Amino acid sequence: MAVTVDFHTGVADPVAFACRLLRKACRQGARLLVTAPPATLAALDTALWTFDAQDFVPHVRWPAPAVVAARTPIWLCGTDADLPQDAPRVRVNIGTEAFVSADGVDRMIEIVGLDADDRAAGRARWRHYEQDWGVKPTHYAAS
């Protein structure tokens, strides 16, 4: 199966955007792995508990006990995490680093913020996916 890569750019609040995306995916029965720098992961972890008083998005910080991770649809982990074979194959990246390899990935979702550094890093990731993975990303501009 070919890898698909989606870029969501011009996102004013990447953590809030990720919360909505993860809630929607979770409701559809998807399993996702989210990568970001430690401070962003901590903010996302907190936001997933608090962004909607009526909803809970089940998630776990990786590494976690295998039995917990196996039954949890959303994994939050650093970009340098050592992942098991059964890790979710849909990846969401809120960080500036690209996944080096497409191994274990069916779909990559990139969330790119508004500031100049985020945009520059997003362009570099786009080129990486085109040149190194041989994938033409799909672009979605935030409205």
Please report the pLDDT score of residue 80 as a whole number: 64
Q: What is the pLDDT of residues 80-113, one digit of tens each?
A: 668 888 999 999 999 999 888 899 999 999 999 9
Please report the pLDDT score of residue 1 as a whole number: 61
Please report the pLDDT score of residue 140 as a whole number: 97
* pTM value surpassing 0.85: yes
Domains in the chain (CATH in brackets) are 4-141 (3.40.50.10110)
Which residues does the chain have with pLDDT short of 50? none
Q: What is the dihedral of CA 95, 100, 105, 111, to 10 degrees?
A: 20
Q: CB count, 10 Å around CB of 91?
A: 24
